[in-house]
Amino acid sequence: MLRTMRNIGIMAHIDAGKTTTTERILYYTGKSHRIGEVDDGEAIMDWMEQEQERGITIQSAATTTYWKDHQINIIDTPGHVDFTAEVERSLRVLDGAIAIFDAVRGVEPQTETVWRQADRYNVPCIGYVNKMDRLGADFFYVLEDVKNKLKVNIAPLQIPIGKESSFEGVIDLIEMKEIRWENNGEEMQFSPIAPERENTAKEWREKLIDTLSGVSDVITEKFLAGEELNASLIKSELRKAVLSRGILPVFAGASRRNLGVQPLIDAIVDFLPAPDEAAAASGHNTKKEEEIKIPCDPKGQPLGLVFKIQNDREAGSLCYVRMYSGSLKSGTAVYNIGKKKRERANRILRMHSNKSEPMDSLSAGDIGVVIGMKLAQTGDTIGGEGFPVLLEKMQFPEPVISISIEPKTISDQDKLKDILALLSKEDPTFTIRENDETGQLVISGMGELHLDVLVTRILKEYKLGAKVGNPQVTYRESIGKPNDHSENFSKILAGKENAAGVTLRVEPAKRGSGNKYVYAAKTSSIPAEILEAIERGINGAFSSGIVMGYPCIDITATVTDIRYSEQTGSEFAFEACASMAFDEAARAASPLLLEPIMAVDLSSPHEFVGEVMSLVTQRGGQILSMNSKTDIDEIKAQAPMEKMFGFMTSLRSVSQGRATFSLEFSHFEKKSER
Ligand code: GDP
Ligand code: MG
């Protein structure tokens, strides 16, 4: 059962054809009734209203389909870097991926970003050069570009027959046959290689064997002995190389014209790993305080990761769960390991592209939707009480922009808070803050588009009228030098004295290292609650800032002494005292304001590149590199976030809408440094 399962994702630069290809896969695997066209806004995977309007895929949903006795779970990954967290989250739960390249553009900036992430998670990949029918399509150029930019060992398993509008099929270099498609791509026609293409095909087949023998001794030996290399041997050796990320096999096609899709689905089965062949998940046993590997074993202790939550007005929270070990039965209790709370898995569903199907249980390796859990948040580990293991936490980047949001009618304030709470359960990269003085709600996220999408969801999906402020940069505060401060606190509450004394040292830490709390007081026999109260006070002070109220970063706060008496010492007093000690210490430690600097990746048609670059420099940006391609130039730059608002509009106007860009958080920098 496990060996016939695949959990895969499709990653690509926006517009490379991920949605179109996914649609075709679902169509040919027979699970969707008709081919949805992205351009009609009807694609099945892009099921949220907003995604359809914007024509981009935002949320990753998992869809199950079947091909040649194999079950394929497709985890949708977003193409836009404003949604990096979504990409990270899907990479966590998939075992293999298809990387799609545009046949004209080759490797685009976001492809590189996603590739780096796939590297980090060790995800085996296959490559697909889509849009072979486009004017300027060049399979061999893309191969070179992939090899140079992604530094991988590529092995084309096909070469195209014809290109641009005359692209008609591929030569399969393993079977050494020509493949053409008929009848809406539903029928494949196989024929012998035409004499005029025979030499080229032989040459590429030789390159394939050569590449493969670089990683396979079996192939090398057989080849040297002059033995016949049959297709199944080549495939099984290739499979090993793909699983160890030693080779990237590459396919060609034009998904929109229904050319090339079935061999790609075969390749999912042939080359991408089954759940028990993928690298075992890592976890942390909270009882024994040790790191463990979790083998994919349906008979093991139950352990699963909630990797996605979608709120459905009828069913409540749809928790997408990937099981790593054991199984989860529908209608039974589940234990939320981090939150130490029991919940019920009322129902378990398998999601197909157009329907959902109830399941009795969800086993190791598989992905499904659990309904009934109210506490679970994205990133939570669920399982049983007897096996307290937390799966590795997902890492999310820093939110760098904020907007204030206010309901049109004051009576809607609570409703708005509820909606924001629901949305943040689905998306851990956005945060909500309530301004202590004004009571105004401020939401922070990864970029303008990210917040825009959240706001549109509030307005449209939840139909709540709200006013939003202009986007603002979320700065950070830090300090420029070390400082010590001793604070004493005393307050009479209900006739009883509450007193505390805390001495604290604050020190600047290396940029990017985050805040750290250290307890180094020599005072002994302090109750644990008091120590926890001090830590709470410091952590609270870290997030409420120094001078401007922005969150602190890169500060180490060390408690060097405390004054505690059993009669008057209370948690309340120590929490307040620690927080005040921090504020006083930091205020006199040369406070600094840090601003987020963004990595800006642009692509522009040649004729606009001058204007595009000066647009970036006008906004205080620095051009880092430029790379010229057949139809466009790619520019990498860095610019302060505060100057990048509304950049999309200016970029459109200088390039007649033809230049594109992405913004991704790079680092924080002292505000006056630029
Ligand atoms: P995504 O952003 O990666 O999901 O890309 P889409 O699937 O939405 O496709 C982006 C655009 O490229 C759409 O207009 C598609 O119709 C078009 N497209 C997709 N596949 C092909 C193809 O094989 N050939 C051509 N010429 N266009 C394609
Ligand atoms: Mg899409």
What's the confidence (pLDDT) of residue 525?
Answer: 85
pLDDT reading at 597 higher than 80: yes
User: 3-state SS string over 13-27?
Assistant: CCCCCHHHHHHHHHH
Contact between 265 and 25 under an 8 Å Cβ cutoff? The reply is yes
260 lines ligand 1 (CB under 6 A): no
Taking CA atoms only, the protein residue closest to ligand 1 atom 9 is: 17
Topology of domain 281-391, per CATH?
Answer: Elongation Factor Tu (Ef-tu); domain 3 (2.40.30)
Residue 60 is predicted with a pLDDT of 37
Range 297-307 average pLDDT: 94
| Pocket of ligand 1 contains residue 449 by CB under 6 Å | no
Ligand 1 atom at minimal distance to the Cα of residue 46: 4
pLDDT average, residue stretch 613-635:
91
Q: What is the average pLDDT across 144-173?
A: 95
Residues 6+ apart with CB under 8 A from 429: 84, 85, 396, 397, 399, 445, 446, 450
Residue 471 scores a pLDDT above 50: yes
Banded model confidence at residue 269, pLDDT cuts 50, 70, 90: very high
| All structural domains of the chain with their residue ranges | 2-271, 281-391, 401-474, 481-583, 593-670
> Which pair of tokens denotes residue 389?
């293991």
Question: How far apart are alpha carbons 173 and 201 in whole angstroms?
Answer: 7
Model confidence at 435, pLDDT cuts 50, 70, 90, reads: confident
418-454 per-residue burial string, b: 16 or more CB within 10 A, e: under 16:
ebbeebbbbbebbbbbeeeeeeebbbbbbbbbbbbbb
Q: Is the CB of 49 under 6 A from ligand 1?
A: no
How far is it, in rounded angstroms, from Cα 55 to Cα 476?
34
Smallest-distance ligand from the CA of 21: 1
Ligand 1 pocket, residue 163 CB under 6 Å = no
According to the model, what pLDDT value does residue 426 have?
77
Q: How many CA atoms lie within 13 A of 270 on its CB side?
A: 18
Please tell me the CATH code under which domain 2-271 is placed: 3.40.50.300
Higher pLDDT, 554 or 603: 554
What pLDDT shows up at residue 80? 59
pLDDT, one tens digit per residue, over 316-358 is 788 999 999 999 999 999 999 988 899 999 999 998 876 788 9
Q: What is the pLDDT of residues 174-217, one digit of tens each?
A: 999 999 999 888 899 999 999 999 999 999 999 999 999 999 99
Could you give the CA distance from residue 70 to residue 117 in angstroms, rounded to a whole number?
27
Give the confidence band of 39 by pLDDT, cuts at 50, 70, 90: low
Q: Is the pLDDT of residue 168 over 90?
A: yes
Domains 2-271 and 281-391 equal at CATH topology level: no
* Cα-to-centroid distance, 18 and ligand 2 (Å): 5
Q: Is 39 in the pocket of ligand 1 (CB under 6 A)?
A: yes
Q: Which residues surround ligand 2, an ion (CB under 5 A)?
A: 18-19, 57
Residue of 14, 15, 35 with the most ligand 1 atoms within 8 Å of its CB, for mutation: 15
Look at residue 38 and tell me whether its pLDDT is greater than 80: no
CATH topology for the 481-583 domain? Ribosomal Protein S5; domain 2 (3.30.230)
Give first-to-last CA distance, the chain, whole Å: 58
pLDDT reading at 146 higher than 80: yes
What percent of the chain has a predicted confidence (pLDDT) above 90?
62
Q: Which residue has the higher pLDDT, 320 or 672?
A: 320
**Which of 307, 315, 325 has its CA nearest to residue 368?**
307
Does the Cβ of 131 fall within 6 Å of ligand 1? yes
14 lines ligand 1 (CB under 6 A): yes
CATH topology of domain 401-474: Alpha-Beta Plaits (3.30.70)
Give me the CATH topology for the region 593-670.
Alpha-Beta Plaits (3.30.70)
Supply 452's token pair.
């825009």
pLDDT band at 51, cuts 50/70/90? very low
Mean pLDDT of 538-558: 93
CA atoms within 13 A on the CB side of 482: 9
Tell me the Cα Rg of the chain: 28
Stretch 442-462: mean pLDDT:
86
Give the lowest-confidence range in 41-45, 409-413, 517-521, 629-633: 41-45
644-670, pLDDT tens digit by residue? 988 988 998 999 888 888 788 889 999
User: How do residues 448-457 score in pLDDT, each as one tens digit?
Assistant: 888 888 898 8
Q: How far apart are CA 371 and CA 480, in angstroms?
A: 50
DSSP conformation letters of 297-312: -TTS--EEEEEEEEEE
Give the pLDDT of residue 395.
Answer: 64
Please give the residue that has the higher pLDDT: either 436 or 580: 580
